[in-house]
Structure 1
């Protein structure tokens, strides 16, 4: 069973309110579709229609990686949307299967393994965070996507913290 929580705050000074959403779902075949549809709906509601296609692909890649490769029964997707960007973090309890960083992507002849190459190409920034210190208890793969239509084409978003 999946649970979702949507939070937001009141708009100030004519700015749209930031949205935060958290989805906890089983690591199952249907979960990538549920996750990408949820994020796409939030982006549309927040006025970021120009970012929907890229965000859907990025969310699909991260969630599909958990479903196919992680030894985890559930995953959590957190999305934070403000007037300039979307930050998505997908967390699972498997710290052993950490995704490769850009220097270790597959060769052109490989049939699999191109998902993180797409993430690297489309996201403004992305990375992996291992949780738990010396005794790792899980990992998060995250991406930041700047809505260039709202920033005049510039990447004016600060580096993510944490």
Structure 2
């Protein structure tokens, strides 16, 4: 009886030791964003998260920096653009109209191509985002142009 108890204790100890040595998760984990959001794009060390409400049809975009801090958001059921963040790292987010393929921000004398995000789901609008560079020429102002596949402007600010 003692031999069985000793053997059982040894088996349990070895099993626990092996479990402790085994990696808990051998798969590479994907970035985790806000609950229910899907990673749509990455740019300049930031991540663009996308979600669409099934009840309201509203599209919600969130940009987080490398530390997971929210630096920009945009919410709408219609085409819209949103500016937020610090002056040194202004975030531009666009919820585009159907057919939009590209977005360019003419930012104080500099043209910045926005990154097109992957928005999944039936009827999901195209989404875009970018971090703007420091202002080069304050007198130049800014203007957004969203273009279709043929290069025609389909939305502007």
TM-score, normalization by structure 1: 0.28
Give the structure with the larger helix fraction: 1
Higher relative contact order (Cα pairs below 8 Å, separated by 6+ residues): 1
Give the structure with the larger strand fraction: 2
TM-score, normalization by structure 2: 0.29
